[in-house]
Structure 1
C-alpha cells in the first residue's frame, strides 16, 4: 500500500543545489562541513533514483554570503545571491557550463525557483533587488515564484520590523510567495510565536488576493528527540502549528525532519521513524489538512548521517498517507498538488 501511495506524481518542494565552483560563496559551508562539495542536479537525480513519478523540484536559496546594509545602499552586497540566480538560470534554460553537473534535458525538472531577497530592507529596496534578479534570470524569470530570507538565525524582533512587514506586503502585491524558515529546536518557541504575529501584521488591511502567501519550511523544525506529548516543547510546537494554520494563504512543507532527529532515530528503519514522528504528523494533518501540506526532501541537507535519505523520506511520507487513510485526491495534493497551488506552477495545472 505504501509503495502505491508513493507512485503518485511527485514534486519535491524543497531542494538545494550548488556547483563546486561556488561552494565558497555559501555563508554556512565551512571546509569541515559534510556538504562542502558540489551538489548538482546529477547528484540529486542519482539520489532519488529518478523514479518516473518525479515531476520535478522547487529550488530554495542556499544562504549565500551577502551584506544586507551595503546591498540596500548600493547593491554591492548582492553579488553572491545574484550569482545563484545566474546558476539557476543555466539549469532552468538547459545551458550548463562544463563540470556543473546538469544537462540541457534536465531543465524540465526545474519547476520553480525561490532565491534570496533582502526582505528586511523594505519595499523600495526589494523592488530594486527584484529588478536585478529579473535582469540576471533573463528567460528563466517566470520560474521565480517567490523569495526567502532565513530568519531562523536572526535576533528577536527581526520578523516584526517595519521594513520586514513592508517587504512581505510588497511581495504579496506582486504575486510572489515568501518561504518562512524558523527553527524551534535551536532557536526557541519565540520564533514560532513571532512568525504568527508577522503573518498577522503582513496580512492586516490587505485584500485576500494581495495577501502574501506564506510557505512554512520543515514543519518549523521541532526537536524530534521529544516523544512525550506532554513535554513543554511539544505543547509549544503544537500550539504554534494550530495558530499558524489559522492564517490564510499559509502552507507547510512536510520536510527537513532528518535534521531534527537524534542519530539513533535517523538511522532507524522506516517503521521506527514513522512511529516516532506520528504525534507530529497527526498535528500537521489536523491543523493544515492535506490540501495545505506538501512533500519536500530538503536534499542534500537530509543526507547528513542518513543513507538513501531521499528514498527513505519518501517511504515515511507514503506510510503517513497510507495509514491516515487519505483519499486519492488528498494524496495527490501532498505529493504535488499543494506545491502547484501554493507556488502557482501553471505549467502542470
Structure 2
C-alpha cells in the first residue's frame, strides 16, 4: 500500500566502513557490521523518502571527558567524529568510498548526535559548545541529542544531573530522543520515563520545557498473543496514555521488526499490521496523528527481514494503519512528515 504524501523518515542510522571500530556494539559477525551509507539507504527505499533524520549510532565514549577546566574532549572523540561524518553529508563534501554525493546533501533534514546527559548541565554545556564547533555550518541541522537508556542501569535518568541536562536542552530549544526498551527491561523503564519527564518539566516555563521524542513505540513485546490478559501489554498501554497526556511528547512508529518473533517478520505487511493492531491503536489514541511520526529504523529494520524489502514492508504497515483508521489528508501528512518537522523544529521542506 503506497502513500501519495511526502515522506520524512524520522529515524535512520548511517556509518562509514572506516569508522566501524568506533561503534560500541560492532563485531565483524554482527549483521549490521558493515558500511551503511546514504547510497545504500536510497537503494533500500527506492527513493521514496523525501528526507531523513539521522540518529546517533552509539559510538564509544567516556562520559567524564570535558569535565575538567581545560574542557578536554578525548573521551568524546568518537561521538564528535560522528558529527563530523554527518557534516560531510549535510554540506556535500563526501570522501571517496563513503557512499554519498554532493547532490545528497539536502536529504538529511536533521541529525541527532549523542550527548553526555548523565554528567550534568555544566559538562553538557561544554559538550554542546564542542559539538557546535565540530558541526560548523551544519549546526543548524542539529535539532537535539540522544543518550540511549535502554541498556543503562535502572535509575540513570532520574539523577539530579540527568534532569539538569534535560532542562538545559529545553532552554536551548533542543529535543531529547528517548530510547527505552520495555521488551527486554520490563515496566521499570516505562515508569522511570514517566517520572523523568515529570521532573524535567516541573517548575519550568512552558516555552522552556524540553520536547521528548519517544523512539520505537518504547519497544513493547510485539510477540504477545493475548493482549487482554498480558501484564506486559497492559503496563505498556497504561504508560502510553500517561505519556500521551504531555503535549511535549511525540512518538515514533518505528522499530517494530526488532520486537517481533521471526515468524511474524516473514509474513506479508497485511498480516503484520493485523498482529500489531492492538499496539498501533493505542499509539494513535494516546498521541493522535499530530504527535506520531513514521520512522523506519533503517538499517536495524533489515535484520531478519532483508535489505531489499524491510523499509517498504514497514511503510506498508504504517500506510495500512492510516487507511484502516480512515485518517484524513491532514492527519496522514502529519504521520508521514509534518509531525517530524514540527517536533524537531525543522522548516517545512
Shorter-normalised TM-score: what interval? Answer: over 0.9
1:11 equivalenced with 2:12 (yes/no) = no
Cα distance in 2 between the residues matched to 1:325 and 1:285: 12
Alignment-derived partner of residue 286 in structure 1: 285
Query: RMSD in angstroms over aligned alpha carbons?
Result: 0.9
Instruction: Tell me which of 59, 67, 73 is aligned to 1:64.
Output: 59
Cα distance in 2 between the residues matched to 1:266 and 1:347: 34
| CA-CA distance at 1:70 after TM superposition | 3.2
Aligned residues of 2:66 and 2:126 also touching (Cα < 8 A): no
| CA-CA distance at 1:71 after TM superposition | 4.4
Could you tell me which runs of 5 or more consecutive residues in structure 2 were left unpaired when the two chains were aligned.
none
Range 62-71 or range 112-121, more displaced: 62-71
- 4+ aligned runs moved over 6 Å, structure 1: none
Alignment-derived partner of residue 177 in structure 1: 175
Could you tell me which runs of 5 or more consecutive residues in structure 1 were left unpaired when the two chains were aligned.
none
Cα distance in 2 between the residues matched to 1:314 and 1:70: 40
Cα distance in 1 between the residues matched to 2:233 and 2:186: 12
| CA-CA distance at 1:199 after TM superposition | 0.3
Cα distance in 2 between the residues matched to 1:16 and 1:254: 16
Cα distance in 2 between the residues matched to 1:273 and 1:24: 35
1:228-247 map, 5 Å? 228-229=226-227, 230-247=229-246
| CA-CA distance at 1:7 after TM superposition | 1.7
| CA-CA distance at 1:347 after TM superposition | 4.6
Range 193-202 or range 72-81, more displaced: 72-81
Cα distance in 1 between the residues matched to 2:154 and 2:224: 24
Alignment-derived partner of residue 221 in structure 1: 219
Larger helix fraction of residues: 1
Q: Secondary structure at the match of 2:111?
A: strand
1:185-334 map, 5 Å? 185-229=183-227, 230-307=229-306, 308-334=309-335
Q: Secondary structure at the match of 2:110?
A: strand
Cα distance in 1 between the residues matched to 2:19 and 2:66: 20
Cα distance in 2 between the residues matched to 1:64 and 1:72: 19
Alignment-derived partner of residue 338 in structure 1: 339
Alignment-derived partner of residue 38 in structure 2: 41
Cα distance in 2 between the residues matched to 1:89 and 1:72: 25
Instruction: Tell me which of 36, 47, 50 is aligned to 2:47.
Output: 50
TM-score (norm 2): 0.97
| CA-CA distance at 1:76 after TM superposition | 1.9
| CA-CA distance at 1:60 after TM superposition | 0.1
| CA-CA distance at 1:121 after TM superposition | 0.8
Aligned residue-pair number: 343
Cα distance in 1 between the residues matched to 2:261 and 2:98: 33
| CA-CA distance at 1:187 after TM superposition | 1.1
Alignment-derived partner of residue 20 in structure 1: 17
| CA-CA distance at 1:227 after TM superposition | 2.6
TM-score (norm 1): 0.97
Cα distance in 2 between the residues matched to 1:29 and 1:9: 34
| CA-CA distance at 1:203 after TM superposition | 0.3
Q: Secondary structure at the match of 1:72?
A: coil
